[in-house]
Amino acid sequence: MQSNKRPPASILFIFGGSGDLNYRKLTPALYNLFLDNWMPDQFAIAGIGRSPYSNEKYLEHLLDGVTKFSRRRGKQNGHWTEFSQHVSYLQMDGDDAAAYHKITDLVKQKEEEWGVHPNVIFYLAVAPQLVPSIAQKLGALKLCGEKSTTRIVVEKPFGHDLESAHELNLLLSSMFAEEQIFRIDHYLGKETVQNILALRFANALFEPLWNRNYIDHIQITAAEAVGLEGRGGYFEHAGALRDMVQNHILQILCMIAMEPPVSFDANEIRNKKVDVLNAIRRITKEQVHDYAVRGQYSGGWKKGEKVVGYRQEEGVNPQSNIDTFAAVKFYIDNWRWQGVPIYVRTGKYLNQKATHITLQFKQAPHYAFPSESAETWRSNRLTISIQPNMDISIRFQAKRPGQTMMLDPVDMTFDYDAVAGEHLPEAYETLLLDVMEGDATLFMRNDQVDAAWQVIMPILETWENRPPQDFPNYAPDSWGPDAADALIARDGHTWINLPPAP
């Protein structure tokens, strides 16, 4: 085991302990932190849920999740017994204020056992509508007044719209100090997303070109090959714009567009990011159709398998107008980005899973080569692939080897995966470790959440008030509706699809 500077003693209470997020993501992440020797010497994890589980059955359930979903899968799981001694199940109803003494009792017990007052972390891995009621009951505990050690982690979606997010922020801040609130967006924990900051601010090469003088436009794609995965009930209240654009995609956009930070202080980074959100051009409801496109998948074939349309999915209204695809054009009205369109798109059941960002450079100002030498001439572009490929690639023109002067575009690629191999931590590992250490840099501050909602509200409201005429409008395995191609084609561009992962 490597030797790491590990966080102080911690107790994690996971509300939604028997739920999917804990099963697929949180426990596998905590177990990997344990295997990599990042967990504190003294730690306890209590899964909280209503379902009746014996401790033994609960641990079996969690181990099943680890075996299926951990980045290590079945490999190197030999320390599970050791790890599981720190894990317990607390059966309680989050709505029952009288049951919360179970939490304080456990904290007291561990405090006595360990001889120190530990970090107490409440992770709310529950449906968004349950968050306010649990937070209120937690807020009433004396424990929550301990600003430097008690923390609350809130999963996205943070609110349902600007108003509800605002209310939730008010509620949380009436009980917790801002430094105690960790609003999680797991994209910020992805290695390749964090690497955007390294690329931009640890190199002198890119920053001088990173602006409207050299960049023609930017594209951000977060395509998913999967459909609903049984989350019809949730998705009916969300839609792709809320589920992916309001948070993950806007956060990536902030990393790409922010000004250089003066330091890596959490508030400094977050100030720079919120500046971007505040500078995104607000569109009116009348302009929505020029800037945004929505889609919903029909039934069809997905890689040889027959799949049903969104409206036929379990838990979905057969007349549902929810978007499973969204594409939006943004502008950032500041000195750096004025006039540079930023096209983003996301969707379920698209042709492949691929998250990537492309900065398309402007054409070279003068072209001295004979026209026949440059049949395949292309502008330079820089592509940052987040997943499943993890690489950074620069496209430029090079001479085709041989006696004639012919030019071809070539790619120079840094393969992040090849360097990191299987040791790359998952996003939730990074973020859970940060919570235990009390480092909020990769978490969203209340003003960021508000600003992100403000950006998408006109689109959300317009879509809600004007039912789509053409749903379902894209087939599974495609790249979304034709209207998304038209959105970008109107400006003379096309969406960039990268070759699938090998």
Binding footprint of ligand BG6 on the chain (CB under 6 A)? 156, 224, 243
The one catalytic residue in 160, 248, 423, 493 is 248
The DSSP secondary structure of 257-326, one letter per residue, reads HPPPPSS--HHHHHHHHHHHHHHBPPPPGGGHHHHEEEE-B-SEEETTEEE--GGGSTTS-TT----SEE
CB of 412 to ligand BG6, least distance (A): 26
CB of 311 to ligand BG6, least distance (A): 18
Select 69 or 414, whichever has its Cβ closest to ligand BG6: 69
Q: Which residue has the tokens 């990536």?
A: 252
CB of 190 to ligand BG6, least distance (A): 7
Select 224 or 391, whichever has its Cβ closest to ligand BG6: 224
Give Cβ neighbours of residue 372 (< 8 Å, ≥ 6 apart). Answer: none
> d(Cα 24, Cα 233) in Å, to the nearest integer?
19
Select 234 or 331, whichever has its Cβ closest to ligand BG6: 234
| Residues 90 and 106: beta-carbon distance below 8 Å | yes
CB of 44 to ligand BG6, least distance (A): 27
CB of 225 to ligand BG6, least distance (A): 10
Closest CB to ligand BG6: residue number? 243
356 given a catalytic annotation: no
Residues 432, 437, 438, 444, CA torsion sign: negative
| Residues 184 and 26: beta-carbon distance below 8 Å | no
Select 227 or 481, whichever has its Cβ closest to ligand BG6: 227
| Residues 357 and 382: beta-carbon distance below 8 Å | no
Number of H-type helices and E-type strands within the chain: 17, 16
Select 58 or 474, whichever has its Cβ closest to ligand BG6: 474
> d(Cα 245, Cα 253) in Å, to the nearest integer?
10
Please state whether beta strands 215-223 and 354-361 pair in parallel, antiparallel, or not at all (unpaired): antiparallel
SS3 347: strand
The catalytic site residues sit at: 248
